[in-house]
Amino acid sequence: MINENRELYRPVARRGSVLYFVIADLALIDPMYQYSLEFFGRLFNRRLEKSQKSPDLDTRIGILQDDVTSSFYTNICRGLFEKDKLLYSFLNTASILRRSGAISASEWAFYLRGSTTDFSSFKNEASEHGITDALWAKLLGLEEAHFAFKGIAKSWADPADITNWKRLFVADDPAKLQWPAQFEDSLTAF
């Protein structure tokens, strides 16, 4: 019975694992960022004890995940240089999304390395719209990296779509703008 109940809390343990490895990797950014497993364990257990309680298991798990995540963020940010806080936020978010499957392995690999294919021999079909050869190659790389980007290069070459793309390209907050119809539902926030 104890094992069955413990398994129900596995999502909280997974979140803790993700957060721990992000914190452990902070030492790669600056050697001053050294956090022990003991520190992590104490903070994690304290959050389990002090977080809001709920009789509903799903609600309780959600509360624990949110509490552990925000508590670790707050506590770790206190010890970070200001220049590294945004990077830490990104690493936390990306790691959580990768673990949940919201960011696929191919998306993450493309983000880190870009395309491995040489597109320099491909004709830039959007040059008349001011799209450089380098940007054209990156658009082709996006198509190669993930099925959701299929047809994005042709969309940039399409006079009907280019005004929409240019508006997105220079926007302060492009996530709030509408994408060309074929990409509106297929692209993720990442």
- Is 114 or 99 the better-scoring residue by pLDDT? 99
Shared domain check, 88 and 161? no
Residue 53 sits in a domain whose CATH number is 1.10.8.1220
How much is the pLDDT for 148?
Answer: 82
How much is the pLDDT for 178?
Answer: 83
Arithmetic mean of pLDDT, 23-32: 94
Shared domain check, 132 and 155? yes
In a domain, 190, yes or no: no
Contact status, residue 153 vs residue 165, Cβ threshold 8 Å: no
Arithmetic mean of pLDDT, 66-94: 96
Shared domain check, 85 and 140? no
Is 89 a residue whose pLDDT tops 90? yes
Is 76 a residue whose pLDDT tops 90? yes
Q: Please say which residue of 70, 102, 134 terminates a domain.
A: 102
- In the chain, what percentage of residues exceed pLDDT 90? 51
Shared domain check, 119 and 89? no
Is 87 a residue whose pLDDT tops 80? yes
Residue 116's region, left for phi above 0, alpha for psi from -120 to 50, else beta, is: alpha
Q: Please say which residue of 77, 102, 127 terminates a domain.
A: 102
Residue type, position 39, single letter: F
| Structural domain boundaries enclosing 7 | 2-102
Q: Which of 154, 112, 174 is nearest to 104 (CA)?
A: 112
Answer yes or no: pTM beyond 0.85: no
Arithmetic mean of pLDDT, 79-83: 95
Is 189 a residue whose pLDDT tops 80? no
How much is the pLDDT for 145?
Answer: 80
Shared domain check, 47 and 19? yes
Say which range, 52-61, 68-77, 158-167, has the weakest mean pLDDT.
158-167
Instruction: Report how many domains make up the chain.
Output: 2
Give, in order, the Cα–Cα distances in Å from 70 to each of 75, 127, 134: 9, 46, 40
